[in-house]
Structure 1
Amino acid sequence: MKRIMEWVKEHKYCYSFLYLILYLLAFFLMEQISEPQYLIHSNLDDKIPFNSYFLIFYVSWYIAFVGSLIFFMFYDKKDYQDLSFIMMNGTTLIFIIYFLFPNYTDLRFDLVPRNIFDQIVNLLWVIDTPTNVCPSLHVSISTAVMVAVWNSKKLKKNHPVWRILIIVWQILICASTVFLKQHSIIDVFAGCLVTLLFSVICYKVNWRKMLGKTIFRSLL
């Protein structure tokens, strides 16, 4: 542990990982103060079947979220910074949207448990309210991981198979949001658009040069 802390002190770009604290504070704050006003619903949502087995991929998102940042933190500085830029700017924008346009879905139903997955989904629905859904944080963060993995030259060269498997995993996470009736298909597309926006900025704009002129230049 001491060696890890010493390594982090020498690689100050890792301090951006502390954004996760702000993320959690913003998430729980929005859950408390948000009063849903805008219903998000598409006719396509009614045609997508419920499948509780996708719970496996849905909860694995937490591993993908934190794990991807930790992995790239030690694996490749540039990939870590790119992922952090896309992911953190994306989630910040989404929280702003939640604040300005508090929204919700009406996709849930009375689920009679037939197996352990149904039982856990019922518990999930109690814990995770159907509010603040568009754009989907699950989708935005998963697609950010996909973009970073796809653009990682080191992964492409050294671990091509794992690179593809991780991308498939993130696609399944995105799919799980609609199969569990957690999100509308509109939320999915909106989450993808948020990631697309910051991906274009990340790889087409010299944001490092601009960040170097701010108080956050130590993160470079």
Structure 2
Amino acid sequence: MHPNPRQPWTHELGQRLRVHQPLKIVGTTVWIWIFFVGYFHLLRNPMRPVMEMPLTVIDAWIPFQPVWLIPYLSLWVYVGIAPGLQRNFRELVVYGLWSGALCLAGLAFFALWPTRIPLQPMDAGGFPGFALLRGIDAAGNACPSMHVAIAIFTACWIEHIFKSAGAPLLLRAVNIAWFLAITYSTLATGQHVVLDAVSGALLGGVFAWASLRWRPSSMGAVEPGAVVAIIDRH
């Protein structure tokens, strides 16, 4: 898919955002809600013995930083960008099916191989909202990190859309920086360990590549390189 040279990237992205806007907002909200129903059910009712994830040397290097709760929670804004930029109803449905398949794969891992992070002393220093997060999202459902999986899936799709629309490199860099901030936040807030994040990146990367590779031909030329571009830069 190549942008129309007579149409600036701002115009194309603006058009994409306006198409089926209420459906995109409601659909993304419902998609997140359904995922959390399954997520919290498995978190509170593991089907097998729960395995504790091992720590790595890198985990020892990353201190607990509660301020990173802000980018951690920003995922739930970030995930709305890619579906919000889908060009038509068919693209939106295809995107929703692939992202739903990613979530089902993650839930399957949690059902068949329950994991948790090691319990570690953490002092949030009264940082607002952190105690609530720790109370709701316990240490289970650790590997793969679905936070990272969904973030890289979203990042690859946004990169693909920005590139095809001819968006400037600065905007594309902001997308990658946001993804990296979310990924680091899963470690800095003590919600995941490095092996969780790496596994999540692999899971989300595979689904991002597949979703960009296998799509209806009418959705434009296939550019699976968006996945490789993000990973290769880092």
Same fold (TM over 0.5): yes
TM-score, normalising length from structure 1?
0.75
- What secondary structure sits across from 1:96 in the alignment? helix
What is aligned with 1:138?
A: 147
Amino acid at match of 2:65: N
In the TM superposition, what are the counterparts of 1:148-187 in structure 2 within 5 Å? 148-153=157-162, 156-158=165-167, 160-187=169-196
Unaligned runs of 5+ in 1: 1-6, 210-220
From 28, 34, 37, the counterpart of 2:50: 37
Q: Secondary structure at the match of 1:50?
A: coil
Residue 50 of structure 1 corresponds to 64
Distance in 2 (alpha carbons) for counterparts of 1:195 and 1:112: 29
The normalised TM-score by structure 2 is 0.71
CA deviation string 1:136-192 (max 9, x = no partner)? 111011101110011115665145432321221111001000011110100100001
8 Å contact kept, 1:135–1:190: yes
User: CA separation in 1, counterparts of 2:145 and 2:25?
Assistant: 26
The match for 2:112 among 96, 100, 105 is 100
Deviations 1:49-85 (A, max 9, x none): 11111111011111112x2255224x56676456435
Structure with higher helix content: 1
> Structure 1 residues 84, 164: closer, same or farther in 2, change over 3 A?
farther
Give yes or no for the alignment of 1:195 onto 2:208: no
Distance 1:133 1:152 in 2: 30
Question: Which of 87, 90, 93 does residue 102 from structure 2 map onto?
Answer: 90
Cα RMSD (Å): 3.1
Do the aligned residues in 1 keep the contact of 2:24 with 2:83 (CA within 8 Å)?
Answer: no
Cα pair distance change 1:125/1:16, threshold 3 Å: closer
Give the letter for the 2:36 counterpart: L
- Paired residue for 2:121, among 101, 105, 109? 109
Structure 1 runs of 4+ with >6 Å offset:
12-16
Aligned length: 196
2:209 and 2:61 map into 1 onto residues whose CA distance is 33
Identity, % of aligned positions: 20
Gaps of 5+ in 2: 1-18, 218-234
Question: Separation in 2 of the partners of 1:146 and 1:55?
Answer: 19
* Equivalent AA in structure 2 for residue 104 of structure 1: R
